[in-house]
Amino acid sequence: MHVLFGGEPETATITELDCVDQDVREVLQLLEENSNFSEEQKAKILSVTLPWDLPGVTAENRWWLTEKILLHSVLGRTTQQVKQMRRGLKDTGVWDFFSSRPDAIPVLFPRTSDVMLTPQMILDKIVWPRDEDVDEDILSLEEQQKALHFLRRFIENGSGERLKSLLTFWTGWDVLSSDLEVEFVDCALPQASTCFFHSKNYLKNVATYEEFERDLMASITSWYSGFGKI
């Protein structure tokens, strides 16, 4: 927002949370946590810095390199998108409003890292399956009700960070959608379909809540099936 509305990139306040690329985040963590690097770690860092015309890491340049990587990953790679957004704001006349009311910028463009999710906010958006939609070939009505109870319990007991992870897995990002659908399929672990306006969480039948929580957490935290975590 700082750069979008005319601020200089050099004066922008950027943190690791602003970087959406998981590979870059791992490199940033390596640079922050180490001063002596193995050859494997140097190669991993170089895989990020080399395409951006930045040097490899040394004990002397690691803090400078951290800053340069963060600046480029967040702002350098989005320069054209920011210009297009600014042009769109001007073409629609919204730019004049923000120029006179800069206090409205964080209201209309909230940071997702500042959003506080509560269990009730998610529960209110869920489209629960109807009894008449039960496929007896997959599971009985009683088993379905048990699994839905487990899902409700998982959400009600979830911390803010866990709820964000669940939402990212379910919809593709950690901002609430209009509808959160639940469907039952025969699957090894819970799955998600994150199509536009058609987000579904596919559940399986398990005997205990502990099994349900273990399987859902495995899906949420997996880089392979957790959308947005790759």
Note the pLDDT of residue 157.
93
Higher pLDDT, 88 or 117: 88
Note the pLDDT of residue 228.
44
Section 36-42 average pLDDT: 89
Residue ranges, CATH 3.30.2410.10, the chain: 115-221
Distances (CA, A) of 14 to 1, 71, 104: 11, 7, 21
> Of the segments 1-10, 47-56, 181-190, which one has the largest average pLDDT value?
47-56
Distances (CA, A) of 101 to 85, 105, 108, 143: 18, 8, 11, 54
Q: How many residues in total does the chain contain?
A: 230
* Separation of alpha carbons 172 and 179, rounded Å: 13
Residue 229 has pLDDT above 60, yes or no: no
The pLDDT tens digits of the residues spanning 41-83 come to 999 999 999 999 999 898 889 999 999 999 999 998 888 998 9
Longest distance between any two alpha carbons in the chain, whole Å: 66
The pTM for the full model equals 0.57
* Separation of alpha carbons 84 and 4, rounded Å: 10
Listing from the earlier edge strand, what are the strands of the sheet with 180-184? 126-127, 180-184, 198-203, 191-195
Domain 115-221, CATH among 3.30.2410.10, 3.40.50.300, 3.40.50.1860, 3.90.700.10: 3.30.2410.10
Note the pLDDT of residue 199.
52
Angle 220-218-210 (CA atoms, 0-180°, nearest 5)?
A: 115
Q: Which two tokens stand for residue 117?
A: 């999710």
Compute the radius of gyration of the chain from its Cα atoms. Answer: 22
Note the pLDDT of residue 195.
61
Quickly state the pLDDT bin for 226 (edges 50, 70, 90): very low
* Separation of alpha carbons 158 and 166, rounded Å: 9
